[in-house]
Amino acid sequence: MSEEKREMEFTTSPADFEILASSFYTIAQEMGLNIERTAKSPVFFSAHDYVVTVNMVDGDIVSLAEYIPVLVGGTPFAVKGTFRYYEEVLQEDINEGDIFLCSDLFTLDCGNQPQDWCIVTPVFYGGEPKFVIAVKAHQADIGGGAPGGYNPNAMDCWAEGLRIPPIKIYDRGERREDVLKLITTNVRTSEMCYSDLLCMASATQIGTRRLRELMDYWGEEKVFTYIKDVFDYAEHMIREQIERIPDGDYESEVNPTYEGRYGDAAVIRCRMSVEGDEMKLDFTETDPQVREIVNSSIANTYSSVWLAILTSLGKDIRREYRNSGCFRPVHILTKPGTIVHARLPATCGNDTNFVAKQIIEAVLEMPCAVSSKGNSSGLGLDTLLDNRWL
């Protein structure tokens, strides 16, 4: 542990801090490797189009295995949405042994892209859920009007494929074959989909076992004290980087690369306000959502911003310390009905590719290097922070 961390006066000792950081990271990585080795879909084992996160019950990410980084910021939405859906909408209990599946972008903002399905597994310890494991992965097919889920002719979200609100695929440890068969019957790659859903769920069981072992060894108090400390440390590192940016308001605008089939291609506009060690990213002036499949869910927008932040402000943060603490000083504003916060029945099948790229560019190309007279020099955020990552 560095001298800087000691100066922050953490409760966790330097040695315990490093051991626990590596332990949580290893748990996430072990789950990711299990998926790679047991999946049937080449989207999983070859393209690695999935992500694994260990979350708190409120959705905050403790540790992650970012096989594809653009999905990382989507798991907190899936976790929060699943708990809210069962507690507030269905008014049903969440029990030990339950495993959930969700994908729908418009049910409490659970999903980020229609093809990215998320397994959500509460980890119980001492009779209560202490953690939640989320595995989000791109499916080979989700039904709908075109194989693979990318349907350029889709006029609404129903034409893109299955919309899955949070649903139990395991109930108190018992597999719900009725639910799994209902889902897999409605996709073109039924056998592969069935196997890969079990692969994702099995990975969370490995993580559940490892987390319980960790709690048994260290004790609940020490583990949760470490989590508070590592969140604070991640936040501290991002705040230090934000302070390097001169206070003020900055703007960027990213135009679409083509006009669109219907001539309604949208422009993404972002205003960044920096005050001390706080940053606000305001996308509310972005154009309205469009008819094509290039709208972005709110979960995808947040995830894209987080990716941009971690590859610029957070580029020197070790993987073991990348968690939700990094995003405490970053505040994101969007307007429902715009291309970065699409509402029902918008089509979003290509949001992790097309729109995500634009959102990331809008953040990274922000003209932050300001002269003494207050005029923008035109340099981007990544340049100001000495990060030519592209």
- Asked if pLDDT for residue 118 goes beyond 70, the answer is yes
Q: Answer with the residue of higher pLDDT: 369 or 265.
A: 265
Q: At CA 31, angle to CA 168 and CA 148, rounded to 5? A: 65
pLDDT of residue 6: 44
Q: Residues 22-49: what's their mean pLDDT?
A: 96
Q: Is the pLDDT of residue 379 over 60?
A: no
Which of these ranges, 114-118, 258-262, 336-340, has the smallest mean pLDDT? 258-262
| Residue 166 neighbours by CB under 8 Å, 6+ apart | 81, 82, 85, 86, 100, 101, 102, 107, 110, 120
List the domain boundaries for the chain: 3-229, 244-384
Give me the pLDDT at residue 384, please.
47
Whether the bond between 14 and the residue before it is cis, its omega within 30 degrees of 0, is no
What average pLDDT does the segment 334-359 reach?
95
What local confidence, expressed as pLDDT, does residue 92 receive? 93
pLDDT the model gives residue 59: 98
Q: What are the tens digits of pLDDT across the range 68-89?
A: 999 999 999 999 999 999 999 9
Per cent of the chain over pLDDT 70 is 92
pLDDT band with cut points at 50, 70 and 90 for residue 375 = very low
Between 386 and 96, whose confidence is greater? 96
- Per-residue pLDDT of 271-287, as tens digits, reads 999 999 999 999 999 99
Mean per-residue pLDDT, 290-312 = 94
> pLDDT tier at 368 (50, 70, 90 boundaries)?
low
Q: What is the pLDDT of residue 7?
A: 62
Closest by Cα among 203, 49, 54 to 115: 49
pLDDT value at 8 more than 80: no
pLDDT at 369: 39
Q: What is the pLDDT of residues 178-211, one digit of tens each?
A: 999 999 999 999 999 999 999 999 999 999 999 9
Average pLDDT of span 209-238: 97
Average pLDDT over residues 139-168: 95
pLDDT for the residue numbered 365: 85
| Residue 315 pLDDT level (bands cut at 50, 70, 90) | confident
d(Cα 39, Cα 32) in Å, to the nearest integer?
11
